[in-house]
């Protein structure tokens, strides 16, 4: 696996592949890789060759009081994992390569970026959309792989891709979870043993809502109440939001209908975790956790 540190070299690698009529796949990450990231690579490998991954801890998507400085950076083990997964190239730029002096152009996806994650983390999605557009321009993939774990992020990138007529197809992959249901996240490493046990409350509360859906409940308030009840019983948990939203607009819905998300953001101690459940409530109910 080649490690590619400059934009010029990354562009050259992708240009070569495209000239040979090959299908370029891309998995953008911030590093501290786990099985969730590797599932994206595996999916990409099925269709694309070469598959490029990037590790870039994007400073522009962290607020001033967020965890940029203490975000885990286990670069050596990350490289081992990507090599084992047979990634063809790792794009590993410095922040100064991506944001040179006097950088001043940003992408803002209106509306979708202001809600939920965007409300608690102002400017977060501006940073995400900006870096993802830059990475798309640099890597020029045919297919780019994202996790449904960050459902709002995936939706915002899809909107940007449409609005700006980008020639990239997005593939959104299922959430990879621990055996006890906790969604894998680089931030799980912040949890101490007791918090780690408490963190399953996100999954448990979504499971409780799933059971209500299966019993025929479609009223969002009732589902939210069920989620709250489970969360309230967990002393380490503090709710940021629990919302049932339309999967296109991310606006709250009164009644669950086709293509919704139940979205959760919960503090476990000082660590903020997110999780979600995709709900397709047409003639038949289909739920994806």
H-run or E-run covering 91 = strand 89-91
Give the β-pairing of 89-91 and 143-147. unpaired
Q: Which of 4, 10, 17, 40 binds ligand AMP (CB under 6 A)?
A: 40
Instruction: Answer yes or no whether residue 175 interacts with ligand AMP by CB under 6 A.
Output: yes
Neighbours of 50 (CB within 10 A): 21
Instruction: Answer yes or no whether residue 51 interacts with ligand AMP by CB under 6 A.
Output: no
Query: 142-171 mask for ligand AMP (x: CB under 6 A)?
Result: ----xx-xx---------------------
Angstrom distance (rounded) from CA 31 to CA 78: 7
Angstrom distance (rounded) from CA 195 to CA 239: 14
Instruction: Answer yes or no whether residue 183 interacts with ligand AMP by CB under 6 A.
Output: yes
Instruction: Answer yes or no whether residue 199 interacts with ligand AMP by CB under 6 A.
Output: no
Instruction: Answer yes or no whether residue 52 interacts with ligand AMP by CB under 6 A.
Output: no
Instruction: Answer yes or no whether residue 107 interacts with ligand AMP by CB under 6 A.
Output: no
Nearer to ligand AMP, 22 or 177 (CB): 177
37 in active site: yes
CB of 171: closest distance to ligand AMP in angstroms? 10
Q: Which of 29, 54, 152, 276 binds ligand AMP (CB under 6 A)?
A: 29
* CA distances from residue 7 to 80, 101, 165, 280 in whole angstroms, order as listed: 23, 15, 22, 41
Instruction: Answer yes or no whether residue 36 interacts with ligand AMP by CB under 6 A.
Output: yes
Pull the structure tokens for residue 79.
């490289």
Instruction: Answer yes or no whether residue 271 interacts with ligand AMP by CB under 6 A.
Output: no
Nearer to ligand AMP, 205 or 226 (CB): 205
List phi, psi (to 5°) of 178. Answer: -70, 170
The per-residue b/e assignment along 141-153, b for 16 or more CB within 10 angstroms, e otherwise, is bbbbbbbbbbbbb
Nearer to ligand AMP, 25 or 36 (CB): 36
Neighbours of 201 (CB within 10 A): 26
Which has the closest alpha carbon to 36: 176, 150, 152?
A: 176
Instruction: Answer yes or no whether residue 90 interacts with ligand AMP by CB under 6 A.
Output: no
Instruction: Answer yes or no whether residue 202 interacts with ligand AMP by CB under 6 A.
Output: no
What SS3 state is found at 158?
helix
Question: Measured at CB, which residue is nearest to ligand AMP?
Answer: 147
Which residues in this chain contact ligand AMP in the complex, by CB under 6 A?
Answer: 29-30, 36-37, 39-40, 146-147, 149-150, 173, 175-176, 183-186
Active site residues: 37
């Amino acid at each position: 696996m080649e490690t590619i540190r400059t934009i010029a070299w990354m562009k050259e690698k992708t240009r070569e592949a495209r000239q040979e009529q090959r299908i370029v796949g891309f998995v953008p990450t911030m590093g501290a890789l786990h099985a969730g990231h590797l599932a994206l690579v595996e999916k990409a490998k099925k269709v694309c060759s070469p598959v490029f991954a990037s590790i870039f801890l994007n400073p522009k998507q962290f607020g001033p009081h967020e965890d940029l400085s203490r975000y885990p950076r286990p670069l050596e083990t990350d490289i081992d994992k990507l090599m084992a997964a047979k990634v063809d190239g790792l794009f590993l730029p410095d922040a100064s390569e991506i944001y040179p002096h006097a950088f001043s152009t940003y992408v803002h996806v209106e509306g979708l970026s202001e809600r939920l994650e965007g409300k608690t983390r102002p400017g977060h999605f501006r940073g995400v959309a900006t870096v993802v557009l830059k990475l798309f321009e640099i890597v020029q993939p045919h297919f780019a792989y994202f996790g449904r774990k960050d459902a709002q992020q995936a939706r915002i990138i899809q909107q940007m891709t449409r609005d700006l007529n980008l020639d990239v197809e997005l593939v959104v992959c299922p959430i990879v979870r621990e055996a006890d249901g906790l969604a894998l996240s680089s931030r799980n490493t912040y949890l101490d043993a007791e918090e780690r046990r408490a963190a399953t409350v996100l999954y448990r509360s979504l499971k409780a809502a799933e059971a209500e859906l299966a019993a025929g409940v479609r009223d969002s308030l009732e589902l939210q109440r069920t989620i709250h009840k489970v969360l309230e019983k967990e002393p380490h948990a503090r709710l940021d939001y629990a919302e049932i939203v339309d999967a296109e607009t991310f606006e709250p819905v009164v009644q669950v209908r086709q293509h919704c998300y139940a979205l959760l953001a919960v503090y476990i101690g000082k660590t903020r975790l997110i999780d979600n459940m995709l709900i397709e409530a047409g003639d038949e109910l289909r739920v994806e956790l």
